[in-house]
Amino acid sequence: MPKRAHSSHRKKDAQMRKLKKKLKQMEKQIRKIQSSESSESDHTYSKEESSDSESSDNESYKQKDDMEIEAPTPTQDFSVLGSKPNDEDEMGKSLHEEIIVRWNTYLQKGFDKTQREELMAKYKLPVNCKMLIPPLVNKEILPCLPKSANENDHFLKALQKQLAHGLTALTENTRLFPI
């Protein structure tokens, strides 16, 4: 096997060991919490039994409820899960409301085939950016591919081409990058 495969397997094995270690730590914490809860419930039960036999059943239930309320709740340590992710970093600036209205419609319903073809014809790919053109499968390999792989390749190629035309439209209309 090539070196890449070995290194990727090593990385996966290291990640698995790390996750298993964290899992064991979490299981220990769960057992600690469960054992402390069971010992607390045993403690409240034994105190209830030691109460005077003359007290009524209602008083013993009341004492048990009072003891459960007074018992401190165990603190949970989430440090084994890693640092808390900050979702605010993923969001950028707000867009203009007119853009939002249109994009929401396009993202939900999409374009008609004619609209898509018109936009692709209007915004041609730039001559000096060949990387926007989706790559082609080698003609020698094409007959060897299964039908599903060939269909998947055509789908991805069409998607990449639409994306390239969309990027071209953005650059032409914003005039950020003169073409």
Domains of the chain by residue range: 3-74, 97-174
- Residue 6's identity, in one-letter code, is H
Instruction: Supply the mean pLDDT for the chain.
Output: 76
Contacts by 170-179, CB closer than 8 A, 24 or more apart? 172/123, 179/126
Rounded CA-CA distance 94/124 in Å is: 29
pLDDT in tens, 37-93: 766 555 544 444 444 444 444 444 444 444 445 555 567 777 777 777 665 666 778
Q: Tens digits of per-residue pLDDT, 79-100? A: 777 777 665 666 778 888 888 8
Instruction: Give me the mean pLDDT over the 155-164 stretch.
Output: 92
The answer to whether 165 touches 123, Cβ cutoff 8 Å, is yes
Residue pair 156/163 in contact (Cβ under 8 Å)? The answer is: no
